[in-house]
Structure 1
Amino acid sequence: MRAAALLRLALAGTRTDTARVLLTGLSAALAALAALAALTVLAIPEPVGDPYAQAEQYGNALLREPGLRGGTAFALLLLVIPVLALAAQCARLGAPARDRRLAALRLAGATPGQVTRLAMLETGVASLLGTLGGLGLYLGARVLIGRPDDRGRLALPTDVLPSPGALAAVVLGLPLVAALATALMLRRVTTSPLGVTRRAARDRGPGPWAGVVIASGLVAFVAGGRVLRSYDGSSEATVWLLGVLYVGGGLAAMVGVVLGAGWISHTTGRLLHRYARRPAPLLAAGRLMADPWAGSRTFAALLAAVTFGAGAAVLRAYFVLQDQLAREQNRLSGVDAGDNPFYLATMDLVDLAIAVAVAIAAAGLLVAVVEGIVARRRAYAALVATGVPRATIARSIAWQSTLPAVPAILAALAVGTFLGRALFGDVSRGVTSTEICDASADLCADPVTRQQYTRMVSGPEVSRTADVPLEHLALLGAGALAAVLLTVAVGLLFLQASTAVEELRTT
């Protein structure tokens, strides 16, 4: 098949296919913007000769201080995760119609490899259009917000630009990753002239082995804490070991939470099937047991955001206690020192990023709910035709979407809290010595007379354990659950049109 014909077939389709391409492109544009923002932060040059010198041209301390730019870039890269999950959900929109179109191509003589390449090209082209649009928005925003303030400082690093290789890696790399992910998802799919079939990997439901993955991540974090407490700063290999334990342990715990949603969905379905007596929960139980991994797919980005948000809540509590101990220590020493709100202000930005991630994850969940209703519209129409009320079907969809979400969100909150407590333990402040001048401002300003009125005041050593931020965790969990309920409510608006009797003739 020639490249031109392959491209033309990839862009063909119905309005659903057009919507899928547009939503996939929009997701790719958001991911490109987040990645380009992270690369821009990393592109800020360090002054020659002094790696700790601050970049005074920026108004935000996160950009001025070299030691904080890596964490800022990492937080921006974390926003790519829910966006990619949204792109994966958008790529599934209208999947039954696309399957029938691919089967028709097989009937016309296309090989399985050509059909797979067609699906890869469809996702890759949509993602490429999105990343090119994201690059255009990035370059245009640099011009619009690149004006300095009254003090001559920039709000964002619009005076630097990532290298051309980094820009090309984002613009071309994300579509390539999307295309390869499509090929990976199609590895168990057989497209024949009679339709599309998926080879089942297992007959039984998922086991609780995701708990082993979570436990390994938690153990790695605990081991990292012990290594950090015994580290004397002399070994570079220890730094690499800490990085492997913390990064690998955090990713393992987060992946375990996401995979555990499949076991939670299957277990919830079994319990509903055993104890439920009403039609709506029984219908939901059948769907949960038939496709338990739908929970891992739909809740992946949301659970990752909740896990990270719980860890950030523990970090905020750590900074609050640190600031409180500093004030108490200064008060006991007789020193009148004001608060240092830098870290708490930084946590406000982190909370904003988490809220954005939850909103993006909710958008992906909405797409998943709508896709599920549209994909099963013939079965739902058959239920309505046999006398099942639409309200019963709506309640079954609500049960199916929200019931597994509650324990999954609780598990994500627990894992994120444990990771945060393992990384940020007790707050300790050693004995401090402060020089105080007991005289007027003029006498203290004079170096000659200042020594006569100066005295040293020592502050006591203080150590305390931060409380578990239950209020913040409850707010985060309630917000995530509210996002699930809202997306389900919006998705149910499509149920009326998808259960019309005419849908029984859908092919």
Structure 2
Amino acid sequence: MKPGTLLRLALAGSRTDGVRVALTGFSALLATLAILSALTVIAIPELGAYEHNQRYRNALLDEPGLRAGTVFTLLLLTVPILALAGQCARLGAPARDRRLAALRLAGATPGQATLVAVAETGVAAVLGVAAGLGVFFAARPLLDRPGPDGLRALPTDVLPEPWQIAVTAVALPLVAALAAALLLRRVVIGPLGVVRRVRRQRAPLPWPGVLIVLGLVSFGSIAPVLEWFFERGRSAPNWLITTLGAGGTLAATLGVILGTGWISYAAGRLLHRFARWPSALLAARRLTSDPWHGARTFAALLACVFVGAGAAEMRSYFRIMRGLELASARDGNYGVGPGDGFYLDTMNLVDLAIVVAVVIAAAGLVVAVGEGIVARRQAYAAVVASGVPRSVLARSILWHSLVPIVPSVLLALVVGTSLIAPVTGSEVSNYGGSAPFVHAYDTLAAYGLLAVGAVVVTVGIGLLFLRSSTAVEELRTG
């Protein structure tokens, strides 16, 4: 297949296909901006271990020791962005499947039909990355406004290395195309339709709990390991601390996300056993038949809640250290840290980043809920035609979303808090903190309510597609 023919086939289709390409490209644009922003912060020159650049107003950019956290926060934003891209790639999938089947009927091989689907995602990502590069370089001179003191608000005076920009421009479309190919690995595109090879579904097991315990133990062992090396007059290897911290965080995050499958199945069985409402019974049957739906749909949102819980625990730590610092100052003693109010102000920026990430994840939920309703329009239309009111169907969709997300959010909050608590608690006791460690319950509650509220709002928006998708005419849709 010639490249020009492949490109035309990849971008052909209806208005829905155009929306899918546009949303996938927009997700790539956001990911490009986030990664280039992180690389720009990395490009700020280092003057010394404790020497400030005195070039930027924000200490998060000016102080070398704080830039790593800034880079991590910017990279964290790419998680819900990539999840949004994955949800957008599924938009209008039934119509795309019929178009790919038509290609097979016209003589295309299975590999060529799959290549068309992969090329669509890759081309959309290329367009998004190109637009992101354009926005990044166009915004630099507009935002480069030094104040009267000569300080800048943003690092618009530095640029990432050219090879880093080139790797970003190539890697993002490549990753998007590989992800599309991975999703199609169980798909057989035939001339009469698209068939998905699915293994025999078994009830999920609570094995993600092992990942959660492993993550908590790994991260919680950082303080004892540091103390063990300190008692022997040695410094702990950086690779060991990084492995314990990053590995523990990754294991706990995966455990929370994958645990949603078991939670959905268990909640569905309980709902089926004790519920007496038609809407709850419909939702219970869907939860038990496809328990991994929640893990796929709510992955980015749960990751944001997990990180938010850890940030809330750090806020508690900074509050206590600030109180200890003020108490020591009143007694004429100094040296307690980090209790400077700057750190609490920094947490406000972290909270803002998490809220932005939740909003992006909610946008992905809107696409997922709307696409799910449209994809099941024949089944929903049959249920309505048999006499089930649309209001009952709408409530079942709400049950299907809320039943797994509420316990999953609580699990993410508990695990995120428990991950950080041993480290921060030991630091407080090392500095003489005798008061009990008080968790930031107000912040934790705010994150939990924000996540559940985002699900309720997105389901409400998705239900706007319900009336058109349950028309009697949908029974004849191929």
TM-score under structure 2 length normalisation? 0.96
Is the Cα contact below 8 Å between 2:101 and 2:191 reproduced in 1? Answer: yes
**54-63 or 220-229: bigger deviation:** 220-229
Aligned pairs for 1:51-62 within 5 A: 51-62=49-60
How many Å separate the matches in 2 of 1:334 and 1:94? 65
How many Å separate the matches in 2 of 1:235 and 1:73? 29
Is the Cα contact below 8 Å between 1:426 and 1:465 reproduced in 2? Answer: no
How many Å separate the matches in 2 of 1:420 and 1:462? 17
2:457 to 454, 464, 486: 486
Equivalent residue letter for 1:22: A
Is the Cα contact below 8 Å between 2:226 and 2:236 reproduced in 1? Answer: no
Cα drift, residue 504 of structure 1: 1.6
Hey, what does 2:331 align to over in structure 1?
332
Give the SS at the match of 2:309: helix
Equivalent residue letter for 2:207: W
Moved over 6 A (4+): none
Give the SS at the match of 1:366: helix
Cα drift, residue 203 of structure 1: 2.3
Hey, what does 1:187 align to over in structure 2?
185
CA separation of 1:221 and 1:79: change in aligned 2, threshold 3 A: same
Is the Cα contact below 8 Å between 2:229 and 2:235 reproduced in 1? Answer: no
Cα drift, residue 462 of structure 1: 4.7
Equivalent residue letter for 1:328: A
How many Å separate the matches in 2 of 1:104 and 1:269? 38
Is the Cα contact below 8 Å between 1:25 and 1:126 reproduced in 2? Answer: yes
Equivalent residue letter for 1:506: T
Cα drift, residue 146 of structure 1: 0.5
How many Å separate the matches in 2 of 1:154 and 1:225? 38
Hey, what does 2:467 align to over in structure 1?
496
CA separation of 1:428 and 1:206: change in aligned 2, threshold 3 A: closer
Hey, what does 1:148 align to over in structure 2?
146
1:401-427 deviations in whole A, cap 9, x for unaligned? Answer: 111110000000011001110332234
Is 1:260 aligned to residue 231 of structure 2? no
Hey, what does 1:435 align to over in structure 2?
none
Is the Cα contact below 8 Å between 1:321 and 1:427 reproduced in 2? Answer: no
Hey, what does 1:395 align to over in structure 2?
395
Q: Which has the larger radius of gyration?
A: 1
Aligned pairs for 1:88-103 within 5 A: 88-103=86-101
How many Å separate the matches in 1 of 2:253 and 2:433? 34
CA separation of 1:401 and 1:429: change in aligned 2, threshold 3 A: closer
Q: CA RMSD in A?
A: 1.8
How many Å separate the matches in 1 of 2:430 and 2:18? 63
2:161 to 147, 150, 163: 163
Equivalent residue letter for 1:344: L
Equivalent residue letter for 1:349: L
Equivalent residue letter for 1:70: A
Hey, what does 2:102 align to over in structure 1?
104
1:426-468 deviations in whole A, cap 9, x for unaligned? Answer: 344889xxxxxxxxxxxxxxxxxxxxxxxxxxxxx55544212
Hey, what does 2:120 align to over in structure 1?
122
Is the Cα contact below 8 Å between 1:121 and 1:179 reproduced in 2? Answer: yes
Is 1:19 aligned to residue 4 of structure 2? no
Is the Cα contact below 8 Å between 1:322 and 1:427 reproduced in 2? Answer: no
Equivalent residue letter for 1:10: A
2:444 to 453, 473, 477: 473
Is the Cα contact below 8 Å between 2:260 and 2:404 reproduced in 1? Answer: yes
TM-score under structure 1 length normalisation? 0.90
Give the SS at the match of 2:387: coil
Aligned pairs for 1:79-478 within 5 A: 79-232=77-230, 238-333=237-332, 340-428=340-428, 462-478=433-449
Q: Which runs of 5+ in 1 are unaligned?
A: 432-460
1:222-261 deviations in whole A, cap 9, x for unaligned? Answer: 2222112223397676221110011011011001111111
CA separation of 1:202 and 1:212: change in aligned 2, threshold 3 A: farther
1:378-414 deviations in whole A, cap 9, x for unaligned? Answer: 1111111121111011011001111111000000001
CA separation of 1:504 and 1:56: change in aligned 2, threshold 3 A: same
Is the Cα contact below 8 Å between 1:426 and 1:463 reproduced in 2? Answer: no
Give the SS at the match of 1:426: helix
How many Å separate the matches in 2 of 1:349 and 1:505? 52
The alignment of Structure 1 onto Structure 2 pairs a total of residues equal to 474
How many Å separate the matches in 1 of 2:34 and 2:50? 26
Is the Cα contact below 8 Å between 1:426 and 1:464 reproduced in 2? Answer: no
Cα drift, residue 275 of structure 1: 2.0
CA separation of 1:159 and 1:234: change in aligned 2, threshold 3 A: farther
Equivalent residue letter for 2:132: G
Q: Which runs of 5+ in 2 are unaligned?
A: none
